[in-house]
Chain A
Amino acid sequence: MVKSKSAYSIPGKQGKLDTHIIVVWVDNEAGVLARVVGLFSGRGYNIESLAVAEIDPKLNISRITIVTTGTPQVIEQIKLQLKKLVPVHKVADFKREDKKVIFKEMALFKIVGNQSKKEKALKACKKYNAIILDKSNKSYVIQVTALRREIDLMSKNLKKFGLVSVSRTGAVAMTRGSEIFK
């Protein structure tokens, strides 16, 4: 064994990474997003996507949805550390595979090309609730709502039909059925 020159311990075995969707209800006040995001960067957690907006103007509550990856131990830490923040009300955690939860992202695609390309692009988007938001002689702006990996795939496939610009939101999540997360 090579003699370590560090006074710190050497890293142990890395566990298996899972993708989780963390939903955080926070007071909508100055700096609250910085606190949440700073916690992730400061402790070396990943953020794959982030969506945030106020959901209750009366109670001043915002809902932050974060897609992250980590070992089960890290995911547990993320939840516990988030709960310690003063403006955080509650934290929910869903596995991406969880069938009881709906995840959706929205994306806007700008297609530039002749009529045939535009139509092909639209057709390719069909099963993802495609809506044409804007059209001109040369272009379409198409809105789709889908899963993250579907949008990943779409952005790749649409290239050949004249995709020039993509804008997408982070994932948002909601449980199925009548229950809500307390």
Chain B
Amino acid sequence: MSKLYSGAEILFKCLEDQDVEFIFGYPGGAVLPIYDELKNFNFLKHILVRHEQGAGHAAEGYARSSGKPGVLLVTSGPGATNAVTALTDAYMDSVPLVCISGQVPTHLIGTDAFQECDTTGITRPCTKHNWLVKDVKDLEKTIHKAFEVATTGRPGPVLVDIPKDVQFQKTNYTKFKKQKKTNGKVHNHFSQKDINELIELMSKASKPIFYTGGGVINSGPKASELLRELVNKTGFPITSTLQGLGSYPGEDSQFLGMLGMHGSYEANNAMHDCDLMINIGARFDDRITGKIDEFSPKSKKVHIDIDPSSINKNVKVDLPIIGDVAEVITSTIKTIKKIKPNFAKSNKQKISKWWEQIQKWRSVNSFDFVNSDETIKPQYAVQRLYELTKNKDTYITTEVGQHQMWAAQHYKFDKPNRWMTSGGLGTMGYGLPAAVGVQVAHPNKLVIDIAGEASVLMTMQEMSTAVQYSLPIKIFILNNEYMGMVRQWQELLHDKNYSESYTAALPDFVKLAEAYGCVGIRASTPQELDDKIIEMINTDRPVIFDCRVDKQENCFPMIPSGKPHNQMLLGPKDQKENKITGKGKTLV
């Protein structure tokens, strides 16, 4: 008779078969049998976080920077509810996570037992799927199914809830064979006809644009390479969403920068005026489209996406192509080579006028700002950070707010999986724990969280995790003492009524760093900024960098609410008029 294993052992055997190397977690009553077995499984390193939300974001950072699913382990009740924000974040941004949660013993389920909550009920709307395992015999297939669901099709989070008694129960384990077969929810539903139609549209277009998103990154590094080849072959301009940054080189001349609410003038105008829009792995999010009725009114729209429900959800498209980005681009390139080998040449003339127009928009230089000798402008800080780290294959995470947009505008990415930011859910406090996860996946790389002082305080406790595991993450705080984006909207939309957006008491971040056992650095003038950044880079321990920036700087350009793409608010000029006066300041 074969050996019997406990539920806890089976969990670890499954993780081993799924090639999991790291698990982010926090122990508690309902997962103690699992924690008891941890010592017997050396393939796995457990990273002890300080809060379950941190475990979730760390797992997200790990997943996004490595392309592998992130795994977290939390206890029942508060452990599970604390993870909900991270699960929702992963759901919105399509990040593969597998969350293992403990549950009270099956006979106590439904009795309001200690640390009981309806975990599968609470997480049902924020996971791709979840399971409550009531019989140890179902555990093995459920865990493997969980990994399959999380990583196939449009990736996303899943949760497996394991009652404590199931962790003790014993049964057999059959060695798992990874199947190449996808789960039926994965779709390459396109045909050669679709590809031919796409190429037909491409060859007819005189004002084309590629609009690419996180789907390119999720499709794997190969997709980014193929995208570069396709863009290069066609000579078309390309813009990217926040999540897609890095799939195409940020400094390339065909790249128009990010689009959307705080995107570049040229990208948004090109989206508005184009006659062919090729959406690759993006989802027509409301931060991108602005006013739907006036979104790119004259264009034919092609939408390449792995998720059929993304098609026609927000914007009606003319040609949907449902499939994995890498495979769609592969067929496209192949077909172009076969039927239009001189595509680039024959097309150049046709789109030259379009490029002229784009150059005109470009010359507006919409990311420009009025620099200062006295205070550090946040944009300048990001620019310097970029210049001083661009040759180091740096991984950037961010929190949410103005600093996030400035990072997206001024930090240029050359490779996929280097940029981790909370786009869909917009979770303040994402960046620090995400940086922990990124550093776990890439121990020898430079990992920087470009942060705001308000966001970073939401998950600051994870510095302690970074110190415990010697993860030399750099927390680069653009400290303006305001919830900057809130303040900016209040300034522009609520008559400068700065209701509760100023943090009147902040910790001394340098001392805070020392209290955590890491290094604190402060920069207050533009003159000392470079030296301090270099000092930060050269420190091989975790660093909290308190970069004191201009308190009133706003993030421009901006599409105001209810406006189409071609009516952007531009920066410095408007800014001078909108400066907060002495009187405005007394309002805070």
Cβ distance B295 to chain A, nearest Cβ, rounded Å: 9
Q: Which of A10, A34, A73, A83 contacts B121 (CB 8 A)?
A: A34
Cβ distance B121 to chain A, nearest Cβ, rounded Å: 7
Q: Are A4 and B562 in contact (CB under 8 A)?
A: yes
Q: Are B286 and A80 in contact (CB under 8 A)?
A: no
B308 within 8 A of A: yes
Q: Are B185 and A9 in contact (CB under 8 A)?
A: no
B580 within 8 A of A: no
A13 within 8 A of B: yes
B124 within 8 A of A: yes
A9 with B291: in contact, given A4-B562, A80-B308, A86-B129 (CB under 8 Å)?
Answer: yes
Q: Are A30 and B132 in contact (CB under 8 A)?
A: yes
B128 within 8 A of A: yes
**B313 surroundings in chain A (CB, below 8 A):** 77
Taken together as a complex, chains A and B put the C-alpha atoms of A86 and B291 apart, in Å, by: 34
- Closest-by-CB residue of A relative to B134 is A30
B489 within 8 A of A: yes
Cβ distance A84 to chain B, nearest Cβ, rounded Å: 6
A9 with B561: in contact, given A80-B311, A84-B307, A84-B309 (CB under 8 Å)?
Answer: yes
State which size class the interface on B falls in: 20 to 34
Q: Are A86 and B132 in contact (CB under 8 A)?
A: no
State which size class the interface on A falls in: 20 to 34
Which residues between 1 and 53 of chain A lie within 8 Å of chain B, taking CB atoms? 4-10, 12-13, 30-31, 34-35, 38, 42
Q: Are B125 and A76 in contact (CB under 8 A)?
A: no
- Closest-by-CB residue of B relative to A82 is B309
Q: Which of A9, A80, A84 contacts B290 (CB 8 A)?
A: A9
Q: Are B286 and A9 in contact (CB under 8 A)?
A: yes
Q: Which of A13, A35, A81 contacts B293 (CB 8 A)?
A: A13
- Closest-by-CB residue of A relative to B183 is A86
**A10 surroundings in chain B (CB, below 8 A):** 291, 561-562
Taken together as a complex, chains A and B put the C-alpha atoms of A5 and B128 apart, in Å, by: 34
**A34 surroundings in chain B (CB, below 8 A):** 121, 124
- Closest-by-CB residue of B relative to A77 is B313
**A84 surroundings in chain B (CB, below 8 A):** 128, 185, 307-309
B120 within 8 A of A: yes
User: Contact string, B335-378, partner A, CB cutoff 8 A, digits 1/0?
Assistant: 00000000000000000000000000000000000000000000
Taken together as a complex, chains A and B put the C-alpha atoms of A30 and B293 apart, in Å, by: 42
Cβ distance A117 to chain B, nearest Cβ, rounded Å: 47
B312 within 8 A of A: yes
Cβ distance A16 to chain B, nearest Cβ, rounded Å: 15
**B125 surroundings in chain A (CB, below 8 A):** 38, 42
B149 within 8 A of A: yes
Which residues between 73 and 111 of chain A lie within 8 Å of chain B, taking CB atoms? 73, 76-77, 80-81, 83-86
Q: Are A7 and B561 in contact (CB under 8 A)?
A: yes
- Closest-by-CB residue of B relative to A78 is B309
B316 within 8 A of A: yes
Taken together as a complex, chains A and B put the C-alpha atoms of A80 and B314 apart, in Å, by: 13
A7 with B489: in contact, given A13-B293, A76-B312 (CB under 8 Å)?
Answer: yes
Taken together as a complex, chains A and B put the C-alpha atoms of A21 and B561 apart, in Å, by: 37
B515 within 8 A of A: no
**A85 surroundings in chain B (CB, below 8 A):** 129
User: Contact string, B127-170, partner A, CB cutoff 8 A, digits 1/0?
Assistant: 01100100000000000000001000000000000000000000
What residues make up the interface of B, taking CB atoms closer than 8 Å to A?
A: 120-121, 124-125, 128-129, 132, 149, 185, 286, 289-293, 307-309, 311-313, 316, 489, 493-494, 561-562
What 6 A-B pairs have minimum CB-CB distances, sorted nearest first? A80-B309, A86-B129, A4-B562, A4-B561, A10-B562, A12-B293
Known pairs A4-B562, A31-B121; list 11 more (Cβ under 8 Å).
A7-B493, A9-B290, A10-B561, A38-B125, A73-B312, A76-B312, A77-B309, A84-B308, A84-B309, A86-B128, A86-B129
What residues make up the interface of A, taking CB atoms closer than 8 Å to B?
A: 4-10, 12-13, 30-31, 34-35, 38, 42, 73, 76-77, 80-81, 83-86
Contact sample, A vs B, 13 pairs, CB 8 Å cutoff: A9-B562, A10-B562, A12-B292, A31-B120, A38-B124, A80-B309, A80-B311, A81-B309, A83-B308, A84-B185, A84-B308, A84-B309, A86-B185
